[in-house]
Structure 1
Amino acid sequence: NLEQLPRFMYPFFENVIDVAEDGHCGFRVVACRIGEHEDSHQMTRLDLTVELKKNGKRYIQVYGSDERYNHIMDALTPKRLGRTLDDKWMIMPDMGFLKAQ
């Protein structure tokens, strides 16, 4: 929500995507940026999970430990439908690298 940011920053924003504020917002934005509807956020999570699993050894090296890798994997898997808790939010910058793949 832009209203949460200082007004002096507004001129620097371009292509703002306003998505639902339900804890899935980071994944919703990614879905929109790749041309999908924001409701495809679960598919975005699934795609990232598949990438992590497929290249697990590589990501363990990137993240520095099995523990960090497992933390990110867990964050990609919500425990329920609807609003999600903050431990399932998009983790930056760790997921930023993952999204770029």
Structure 2
Amino acid sequence: MCPTPAKVNTKGASKKAMSRNPRSTKRDPCYWEYVDAFESMQNSNSSVRHTASSSEQPNQRTMMPMLDQFQPFMHDFIDKIVDVKADGNCGYQSVADLLGMGQDSWSVVRNHLLKELANFSEDYIKLFGDTERFEEFRM
């Protein structure tokens, strides 16, 4: 007769003893810290190639006219350049065009700005320093 074989546990992974000190104050990293560490490890490894299905596509900027007139550090913050006619209202025209109202709606933008200045004149006088400077901007 043969002795009975030892019972083998077939469920789950084998349990490992905790190697962490139970009095330790170090916390376990959260999921996002694991992800950040994994991504930084991948970015530092130059042999890793991104596939076309990668969520990180290279930022392809369209060539904008007159972009070279701005300082290079500003280029990443510029989404669109609007070339408006220089008739003294170009600031209002560019704001109106970028808001999708069209350049001809510059007077609406100007009127909203004047109403804003009138409604909060005390705040703007404090901001500009004195009443004369505020009136200069208002005119």
Question: In the alignment, is residue 59 of structure 1 matched against residue 119 of structure 2?
Answer: no
- Aligned partner of 1:60: which letter? I
Structure 1: state its 5+ residue gaps.
75-101
* Matches of 2:80 and 2:98, distance apart in 1: 10
- The match for 1:5 is 69
Amino acid at match of 2:69: L
**How far has the Cα of 1:3 moved from its partner?**
9.4
Distance 1:52 1:65 in 2: 14
Show the counterpart of 1:91: none
Aligned to 1:42: 107
Task: From the CA coordinates, give the structure whose radius of gyration is larger.
Answer: 2
State the match for 1:73 in structure 2: 138
RMSD: 2.4
Counting aligned pairs with the same residue, the percent is 28
User: How many angstroms does 1:15 deviate by?
Assistant: 1.3
SS state at 1:43 partner? helix
Q: Which residue of 1 aligns with 2:92?
A: 27
Higher helix share: 1
| Structure 2: gaps spanning 5 or more residues | 1-64
If asked which structure has higher relative contact order (CA below 8 Å, sep 6+), I would say 1
The structure-2 alpha-carbon separation of the partners of 1:15 and 1:25, relative to structure 1 and needing over 3 Å to count, comes to: same
